[in-house]
């Protein structure tokens, strides 16, 4: 098992993805897992849910604080960097705060990992980093560039830096689904930005498995992009309305849909890989790998050259409403 007897640090470990990563890692009998986050309440709740364990450490701290990150990484083998300020409107109205967490914080992780001679660092990015139109996306793009540059300029350091690029994670904290359910139950209405928007959607399990696979497969500097379904917001609204009304015995005809227009920084569609990236990318059955060194396959098993073109929610076939329903029901989100 990959994590057996290893020492792992999860930065942002009390978040949705962080907790799922933790569950997977603990199943492989690691030596220790350290959780670094700034939310003492979430750490308290996590500690209560797991009970007393000799292989867990709970560290209060902020990724913005280099000294704290450095001490948290002492004698660590693998680092998952999943901490971020990611709410798009919040980042728009507080751009420097987004820079401090997403850019300065990532730089702290890079420096500390080198200093502590960590084996591998996996950073979780976003589809919003591609052709960014908002602060969040711009900070994630900058962080990606920093990690790739660190890999290419690390000299004698053994630390491997790699990136996973996510779409929207269904059921994660900040997901639109709980908001829709709450609005239907309490107000019999849904506020939607624009029903013609399309989005990449992945399950929590897919996001976790992608991140774990990236950690195992990383050779250095590459970006892993999972192939994932595309959902039309209109279909998501329809399915959430029908399923919520069914569960709570509400007349679906009474639920009103109110379009409120796009929020600052939002796009009608999202991209996970640019045209330029596709020119050097490799394709696997379940993901694309964008290497840091042009033309380098670096030994990815069963990889073939990717087709030229953007990987965008605008040019991918959207899944049918019934497939959206299966996804929602399967994930037990209502």
pLDDT band at 299 (very low <50, low <70, confident <90, very high): low
CA distances 212 to 29, 122, 124, 154, 232, Å, are 15, 9, 11, 23, 28
Question: Would you state the pLDDT for residue 326?
Answer: 92
Residue 174 has pLDDT above 80, yes or no: no
Structure tokens of 195? 């029903």
CA distance 246 to 265: 34
Write the DSSP string, 65-123. -HHHHHHHTTT-SEEEE------HHHHHHSHHHHHIIIIIHHHHHHHHHHHTT-SEEEE
CA distance 241 to 250: 9
Residue 294 has pLDDT above 70, yes or no: no
Sign of CA dihedral 156, 2, 83, 269: positive
Residue 4 has pLDDT above 60, yes or no: yes
Question: Would you state the pLDDT for residue 334?
Answer: 85
Could you read off the pLDDT of 231-272 as tens digits, one per residue?
Answer: 999 999 999 999 999 999 999 999 999 999 988 888 999 999
Could you read off the pLDDT of 83-100 as tens digits, one per residue?
Answer: 999 989 899 999 999 999
Question: Would you state the pLDDT for residue 156?
Answer: 87
Question: Which whole number is the average pLDDT over 61-70?
Answer: 98
CA distances 70 to 15, 61, 77, 122, 195, Å, are 21, 11, 13, 16, 45
CA distance 173 to 286: 25
Residue 86 designated active-site: no
Query: Which residues have a Cβ under 8 Å from the Cβ of 19 and sit 6 or more positions away?
Result: 13, 46
Which residue is catalytic, options 6, 7, 120, 128? 128
Residue 20 has pLDDT above 90, yes or no: yes
All structural domains of the chain, each given as residue ranges with its CATH number in brackets, are: 7-173+201-227+274-314 (3.40.50.720)
pLDDT band at 137 (very low <50, low <70, confident <90, very high): very high
The percent of residues above 90 in pLDDT, for the chain, comes to 81
CA distance 321 to 98: 35
Structure tokens of 331? 């994930």
Average pLDDT, the chain: 93
Is residue 160 within 8 A of residue 117, CB to CB? The reply is: no
pLDDT band at 295 (very low <50, low <70, confident <90, very high): very low
Which residue bears the tokens 């076939």? 317
> What is the reported pTM?
0.92
Could you read off the pLDDT of 39-50 as tens digits, one per residue?
Answer: 999 999 999 999
Residue 301 φ/ψ, nearest 5 degrees? -65, 135
Residue 297 has pLDDT above 80, yes or no: no
Is residue 221 within 8 A of residue 152, CB to CB? The reply is: yes
The residue with greater pLDDT, 299 or 223, is 223
Question: Which whole number is the average pLDDT over 299-304?
Answer: 80
């Amino acid at each position: 098992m990959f994590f057996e007897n290893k020492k792992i640090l999860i930065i942002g470990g009390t978040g949705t993805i962080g907790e799922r990563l933790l569950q997977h890692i603990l199943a492989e009998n690691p030596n220790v897992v350290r959780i670094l986050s700034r939310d003492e309440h979430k750490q308290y709740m996590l500690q209560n849910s797991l009970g007393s364990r000799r292989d867990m450490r709970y560290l209060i701290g902020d990724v913005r604080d280099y000294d704290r990150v450095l001490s948290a990484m002492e004698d660590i083998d693998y680092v998952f960097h999943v901490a971020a300020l990611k709410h798009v409107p919040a980042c728009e109205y507080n751009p420097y705060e987004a820079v401090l967490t997403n850019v300065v914080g990532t730089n702290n992780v890079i420096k500390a990992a080198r200093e502590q001679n960590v084996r591998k660092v996996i950073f979780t990015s976003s589809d919003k980093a591609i052709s960014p139109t908002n602060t969040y996306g711009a900070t994630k793009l900058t962080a990606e560039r920093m990690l790739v540059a660190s890999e290419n300029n690390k000299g004698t350091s053994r630390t491997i830096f790699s990136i996973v690029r996510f779409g929207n994670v269904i059921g994660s904290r900040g997901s639109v689904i709980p908001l829709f359910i709450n609005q239907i139950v309490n107000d019999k209405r849904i506020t939607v930005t624009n029903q013609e928007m399309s989005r990449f959607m992945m399950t929590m399990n897919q996001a976790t498995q992608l991140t774990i696979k990236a950690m195992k497969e990383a050779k250095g500097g590459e970006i892993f992009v999972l192939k994932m379904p595309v959902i039309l917001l209109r279909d998501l609204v329809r399915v959430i309305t029908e399923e919520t009304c069914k569960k709570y015995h509400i007349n679906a005809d009474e639920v009103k849909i109110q379009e409120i227009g796009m929020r600052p920084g939002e796009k009608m569609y999202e991209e996970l890989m640019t045209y330029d990236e596709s020119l050097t990318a490799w394709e696997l059955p379940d993901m694309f790998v964008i290497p840091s060194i042009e033309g380098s396959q670096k030994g990815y098993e069963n990889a073939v050259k990717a087709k030229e073109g953007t990987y965008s929610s605008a040019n991918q076939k959207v899944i049918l409403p019934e497939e959206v329903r299966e996804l929602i029901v399967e994930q037990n989100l209502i």
